[in-house]
Structure formats: structure tokens, C-alpha cells
Amino acid sequence: MDRMFVISGMTYAVLGMLLGISMAVSKDHGQLVAHAHIMLVGFVVSFIYGLCHKLWLNNDSSKLAWAQFALHQLGAICLAVGLFLLYGNYIDMEKIDPVLGMGSNAVLLAMILMIVMFLRSGKKHQE
């Protein structure tokens, strides 16, 4: 799981950097919110999850770990694409709001699952 999170995180970093460079070149910073979410939710959180799996969760690849990975990726993609479409004025808020809500909830649930995995791993180390 650690490699999958790190690779996905680095992929988000490249996408976020490309969007940032595009904004700088065009001098149009309208995608700042999308850029920030791609970099933070996509890159930073994914990378931290990868470190957590490597350092503390013994690279757990249980069904719970897979569910957590899938939820985080689904949420990050929904947020990145949804915010890009919204702030690029490609779609109205009323249409994209349910997607952004689903993405936000998926990211939140993925974080809760990470906490559950951490709590479970602590019990294993104490025994």
C-alpha cells in the first residue's frame, strides 16, 4: 500500500504543479482552489498515508486498507476534477455540488478508516 499511495501522491503533485505553472504563465489564478486541493488532498495526504503504511502499519494490504485507498483516491479525484470544472467556469455549482460533497465525504471517511487502522495496529504492537 505504501508504494501505491506514494505513486498516486506524486502523480497528483505533477498534475498540481502543471496547473500551477499554467496559472503562472497565463497570469490567471482562477484555479487556485483546485490547485490547492490537488496538492494538499492529492499529494500531501496521499504521501503521508504512504509513510503511515510504511512506518507504522507494516504495509498492511487488508480489505480495510484497500477500501481506505479506494475511498481516498475516489474522493481526491472527485474534488480535483469537480473543483477544476467549477473554478474554470465549465459547470455550474448546482450541478457539481453533489460530486464535491461526495468527494469530501469520501476523503473524510478515508481519514476515519486510517485512524481505525492505526488504532488496530497499536493493539497488535502492544500484545
pLDDT of 127 strictly over 60: no
Quick: pLDDT tens for 72-116: 999 999 999 999 999 999 999 999 999 999 999 999 999 999 999
CB atoms within 10 A of CB 92: 10
Q: Nearest CA to 46 among 92, 9, 2?
A: 9
Tell whether pTM > 0.95.
no
Amino acid identity, residue 102? M
Taking the C-alpha atoms of residue 111 and residue 109, their distance in angstroms, rounded to an integer, is: 5
Q: What is the pLDDT of residue 121?
A: 87
CA 111 from centroid of its chain's CA atoms: 10
